[in-house]
Structures are given as structure tokens and as C-alpha cells.
Structure 1
Amino acid sequence: MAEPFKNLINPRTVAHAGAHLQRVWPGFECQRFERQAGHGLDALEFKARAMQLADALEATLPSDFATACDLLEASLAPPLPLDAQGEPIALAADRQDEGLAGWVVWSMGEFVARRGVNGDVPRALACLHALTQRFSAEFAIRPLIQQHPGVVLPTLAEWASDPSAHVRRLVSEGSRPRLPWGLRLQALVADPAPTLPLLRVLQDDVSAYVRRSVANHLNDIAKDHPDLVARWVDEHLRGAAPQRTALLRHASRSLIKQGHAPTLAAWGLGLGLQGEAGLSLSTDHAAVGDDIGLHVTLRSTARTTQPLVVDYAVHHVRANGGTSPKVFKGWKLALGPGELRLLEKRHSLRPVTTRTLYPGSHRIDLLVNGQACASAHFELLP
């Protein structure tokens, strides 16, 4: 059985942090820190463990914020190296005596955010600049953005040209409006304009690590401002190099699945299928835990090749008896003039944590360039 994710923060993590903090400050109350950070750790889930470790830092680091930041920075390992694609490489076990890096830095960033949000914001940002090069400060910087945008956003604009890819990624990842696990930046949800100049600078970054964050940031914006992202794609796709094209496609993924017409048009997918489409299923009855086969036929009546994105929407039965659609990725293809294409796929009906499957009649719509072209039904058994 795989090790539970929460065990990435464990008693060894606590002891390691205490040892390095005492190394840089002999007066550090290491035993008190370990006792508080490690209390009842086994019963806590992952985020709760990180927050308890941050509580222990608050209780044991100096009350002077600048001094506390000095100590945190001194306890750090060298910045995490990057591979040839610009992706971070975790600190090797035989190098952990060099200082702190990895998940423990989440708790350190939380401490900086708590103390810094109502204190010395520039000193907090300087510390996060160091911390993010050993893990990520994407969670910690968000309260500072929320409370002090006039200070933080100009700093992020400077960091967009920082020599460190870790720091450049923080510019995009830390300011994402809807970062998973992170504080929602409601002002940027309502109006993402302040971060657009940052994304414009970073979308051609040499590091794939940074570019992927930009794509996810744009995908966040698309949830509330789909037409804005469609215009962004249309503008920046023209003459784009392959790396930028890949970024924009990843940024468009949710809008393409939703059949958002302006986004499809930006990708040359604005026209519906010129021809006929059919959808049949391998069975008309299935049980939870099974899978079901989709058989698709596409016949072109066009005189030119058609670029097509073929997805499908399953209308799941809800607890109240209604239905709600969920779009699943299918195929991307070029359908030649007069061509008949057969496509097959298995769709899993196994339960997942994000969706409960209820019995009843389910409809599957075949979506070609965002338009429903064919449908089929099956009964999900209790």
C-alpha cells in the first residue's frame, strides 16, 4: 500500500526543522518546538500538520519579525536545482544536512504570511523570495496580495524578470485567482486585469515549470471570464512558437471541453461537422464499477479537410433525480474530404471521490467542435 500523502510531514520532518533552526540560532527552544509541532501528528491530515508546524514556529521564533526571517533564511538549503526542461529536482537525501527544503517550507511560509500581513510587508516578500526557491510560497503570498496589492503586485512585476525560475513561477502561481488549496483572491476573480501584464511577460519563459503555471492561471481566469481568455488566445496564437502554442492549448482546455464558441474559433474549430455523426454504446445497461464502450462514426461531406475536436458529455443522474453533464476528452483529428472514420473508447463507471454515481437513465452526447451531433442512452443499475 502506498504511503499516505499526509506522511510527507512527519516526526522526522519536525526533528529536521528543529535541528536546522537550532544550528543557526543556538538559543532556539528545539524541544519545545518539537513537542508542539509533533503533538498528536498521527491523527492530523496533511494541511493540519503543516499549520501545526507553523503554530510551533510562531511560538518559538523571535518576536522581532525581521530577526525571525533572518533565521528562517539562514536555515535553508541551497535553491533546488532545475532539470534540462526547467523542472525542479527534489533535494537528495544525502544533501538534507545542508539545510531545509521541501514540504516543511510550506509551514515556514505560513509563519511569514501570518506575521508579515500586518507588519513589514517588504521584509515578508524578501523572505518568501528565498523560501519559494526551496519549495513554493504560492500559498503564503496570497494573504499579502489580498491585503496589500499596491505593494505586492509591483514586486511581482519585478520578479517576472528574476534569474530564478522558482521566483518567476511564484509570480504566476501565487497570483492565480482560484489556486487549489489556496486562499481565493476574490478581487482577481472579479477583475483579473492586474495580473495580465505579468502573464504576458511569462508566457514565453524558458522554463516549462513557469509556462505551465501561466497556462493554469489563464485556465483559472477562463472560469469567470471565458471571452477574455478566448481573446487572449486569438491574439497570442498568431505566429506563436510551438512552446507558446502548447501553453495556449493547455490554457484553453476547459473552454474547449465546454464548447466555448470564441475559443473554438480561435483554434480554427469554429465550424461544426460538415457531414454525419453517429454514436452507439456497447450495452444499454451497466452497473457501477463497470465500463461501457463508445463507438463513434464520422462521415465527411466536405471537399476539404476538417480539423475536429471530438469529446462527449455524460449526463449523470443526481441525487434529486435531475441530471448534470460532465464533459470528457475524446479525440483530436483531421477528417479528410469524404472520409469515414471509426472511433472507439471505453468509459469508466467506477466511483471517484469527486462524483457519486446514482442509478437511472444516463444520456451521452457526442460533441464535435463543441456541438452536440449524436446521442445515446444507457441505464445505470443500482
Structure 2
Amino acid sequence: MAEAFKNAFNEQVITLMADIFKRTYPAFRRDDFISGCMETLEALELKERVGLIVDQLDRFLPADFDEFANILLGAMHPAEDNTELAPVECDETGLRGFPAWPLIDAVTKRGIDEPEKALPVLKELTKRFSAEFAIRPFIAKYPDYCVSVFREWIKDKNRHVRRLVSEGSRPRLPWGIQLKALVTDPGPMLPYLEALRDDEEEYVRRSVANHLNDIAKDHPDLVADIAADWLKDASKNRERLVRHACRTLIKQGHKGVLQAFGYGAVGEMKADIRILTSKVVYGEALAFDVAFSGGAQEQGVMVDYAIHFVKANGNTAPKVFKWKDTKLDKTGALKADRKHAIKPITTRKYYAGEHQLEIIVNGVSLSKQPFTLVM
């Protein structure tokens, strides 16, 4: 069994941190820091352990932010790239990986009222462990100032600094505080995403894609327009970025996004469904085939299907599943078959009754057929 992430902070690591701080700040109360951390550490989960260490650093490091920041920077590992590190990858020369996390959070706690001093420290710390969560309170409180700082960061030679611009400012970053102003209006960050879209590092480009996917949840038409623009004369790397950015909208069948990728109107296309298992016993599979006709010659098609599952109240609700990204033949036709297992999963409770299978092509519903689920 894999080691629990919380164990990245154990007595060995706490002692190493104490020794490093003692070296960079001779007045550091090493033994008191260790005992203050270890008194309750074992009972805590990962984020609670980080919070405990932040509190102990706040207790034993100087109140003056400049002195505090210099001590933290002096405790950093000299290497400026952390991407391939194991959770604990530091030594007596300095901190990086998970052990650098509390230092980053300590900067936010101490420096939230001094962004002009705190952000340069986060810029250095993010090279050792991502500051994507720690920077978000600054973006929320000082949006204009942060945007001005980002103008320089997008040109930084270190990929982690460039990525921090796009990842730290994601409107709906999972596990991070929501940046409500950017949820409402993502416009301030769009020039920075465009500047990073062709970054030499896939690591940065993937962050740009995830940022756009966040925006798509609130502004789907805007992202569709961006996709259409960015796909003009796009390199393979940018095309992959845009496709990843639009993954949610593609799954939803957003017509503008599908058109941006070349999946045009379905016109007079038809989809004749044949249900091969009109009664599906729970634990077995729905089997069906579909004959598509009436499309344009060799037309690109994004074929999805939705199952309208019966809910507890007897109503139905659709769940869309990806199926095929292909082309029609020279006669504008296509034949395809599928089996969809209906078996126990943790994310859905099944109910007996009449369900519906729906076929969707390029975001347009073409046909439906019923089947019965027997529990």
C-alpha cells in the first residue's frame, strides 16, 4: 500500500526543517519548534499538519516580514525545479517538495497585507513546491496588482513561475478558494493565457487548457470563440491544448466548439437505432447498433450517446457518454455497434423501469429508443 501523503511530515522531516532553520536563523528555537510540532502531529491529517507547522513557524520566526522572508528563502533547496520530485525530496542543503509547502502558506499568512513583498517570495518558493493555492488570496484581494506582476512572470525563464500565472488564477481551481471576480469576468486573464498558449513546456500549456476549461463552466460561448480563434493555423501542440480545454464542452455537445473543430451541421442525417437487448438485467449490458445515413460525403462526426436513467422519483435524467470521433463514408453513411454495461458503481444508484437511449451527433439529438432495466 502506498505511503499516506500526510506522512511526508513526520519527525524526521520536522527535525530536518528545524536544523535548516537553525542554520539560516541562529536564534531559531529548534527544540521548541520540534516539540511544538510533534505534540499533536500524529493525530492530524495532511492539511492539518501543514497548518500546524505554519503556526509553529509563525511562533518562532521574526515578526518583521523582510527578515522572515529572508529566512524562508535561505531555507530553500538550491535546485529550482520540483516537477519530478517524490513527496519528500529534500536534504540538509534546503527544502523542496512537500516540506516546502508550509513555508509557502506561511508567506500568505504573514504577507497578505504586503503583496509587494510577499509575491516575490512566492515566485521563488513556487520553484520548489507550487504556490498555486497560496497566491489565490492575493489575486482575490489585489487583482489589479497581481495582474501587473503577471506581465513579468509570463516571461520568466522558470516554467514553474510561468505556470503559476495560469494555474494560480484559475477561477475554479479544485481545492482552492474560488476567485469570484474571475468567475464573473475572466477577461483580465485572457491576454496571459494567450501569451502562454504556445509555451515550450507541455506542463504550462496543460495549465492554460485547464484554466480555459474552468472558464467554460461559466462562459461556454466565450471559450467556443477562443477555440475557433486559436485553432486558426494552430500547431499540433496548440490543437491538443484547445481540445483539452474544450473537453467538457465537447462532451456536452456545444455546437460552437464542435464547429470550431470541424464538426459541421448534421443537416438531414438520420440515426436508426436497433436495441438488441430490449430488457437489460441489472449487472449485464445494453447492446445496440446504429445505422447513420443522409450525411455529407466523408463528413466529420462526433458521435455520443446518452442514457436517460430512471431516478428515485420515477423521472429520468440523461448521462452523456463519448462514443466515436470519425467520418461518414463516401455515401454519407456509417454503421456502429456498442455494449454499455449496467452494473454496480459508486457514483450512481440504478432503478428499474423504462430508460431511453439517445444518439447525439455533432451536438444534435438524432433519435431515441426505449429499453427496460430489470433489477
TM-score, normalised with respect to structure 1: 0.88
| Residue 52 of structure 1, CA deviation | 2.3
1:95: how far off?
5.8
Please state if 1:78 is matched with 2:84: no
| Match of residue 91 from structure 2 | 96
- Counterparts of 1:20-59 in structure 2 under 5 Å? 20-59=20-59
For residue 114 of structure 1, what is the amino acid of its counterpart? K
* Residue 272 (structure 1) shift: 2.5
Give me the whole-angstrom Cα distance separating, in 2, the residues matched to 1:210 and 1:43. 37
**Aligned twin of 2:360:** 367
> Given residue 223 of structure 1, which amino acid in structure 2 is its aligned partner?
K
How far does the alpha carbon of each residue in 1:257-300 deviate from its partner, in whole angstroms, 9 at most, with x for none? 1111111111122323724242636573344xx46355342433
Moved more, 59-68 or 120-129: 59-68
Listed one character per residue, the Cα deviations across residues 83-106 of structure 1 (whole Å, up to 9, x for unaligned) are xxxxx2216978633311112322
The one-letter code sitting in structure 1 at the alignment partner of 2:221 is D
Q: CA deviation at 1:65?
A: 1.3
Structure 2 match to 1:107: 102
Deviation per residue, 1:278-326 (Å, 9 max, x gap)? 2636573344xx4635534243333511211122333344555544333
CA distance in 2, matches of 1:349, 1:45: 34
Deviation at 1:130, TM superposition (A): 0.7
Structure 2 residue identity aligned to 1:41: L
Q: In 1, distance between residues paired with 2:254 and 2:110?
A: 43
- Give yes or no for contact 1:237–1:244 (8 Å, CA) kept in 2: yes
Partner residue in 2 for 1:304:
297
Change (3 A) 1:134 1:297: same
Higher Cα Rg, which structure: 2
| Gaps in structure 2 of 5+ consecutive residues | none
1:161 aligned residue (155, 160, 163) = 155
Partner of 2:172: 178
What residue is the counterpart of 2:16 in the other structure? Answer: 16
Displacement of 1:78: 2.8
Q: Does 1:194 align with 2:194?
A: no
Per-residue CA distance 1:314-353 (angstroms, 9 max, x = gap): 334455554433333222112212343324354464433x
Partner SS state of residue 92, structure 2: helix
Q: How many residues align structurally?
A: 371
Q: How does 1:253-268 map to 2 (within 5 A)?
A: 253-268=247-262
| Alignment CA distance shift 1:309-1:303 (3 Å) | closer
Q: How much does 1:142 deviate?
A: 0.3
Residue 93 of structure 2 aligns with an amino acid whose one-letter code is E
Asked if the contact 1:205–1:211 (Cα under 8 Å) also holds between the matched residues in 2, the reply is yes
Per-residue deviation at 1:32? 2.7
Task: Name 1:85's counterpart in structure 2.
Answer: none
Distance change (3 Å), C-alpha of 1:263 and 1:22: same
Summarize deviations over 1:168-224 as a string: whole Å, max 9, x none.
Answer: 000000000000010100000000010001001000100000000000000000100
Output the CA distance in 1 between the equivalents of 2:276 and 2:181. 46
Aligned equivalents of 2:278, 2:58: Cα separation in 1: 60
Given that 2:89 and 2:96 are in contact with CA atoms closer than 8 Å, whether structure 1 keeps it comes out as: no
CA displacement 1:130-152 (0-9 Å, x = unmatched): 11101100000000011111211
CA contact (8 A) 1:299 1:340 kept: yes
Q: Give me the CA root mean square deviation.
A: 2.5
Stretch moving more, 68-77 or 335-344: 335-344
- Displacement of 1:358 in angstroms is 4.0
Unaligned runs of 5+ in 1: 83-87
Paired amino acid for 2:308: H
Kept in 2: contact 1:313–1:325 (CA 8 A): yes
Contact 2:21 2:75 (8 Å CA) reproduced: yes
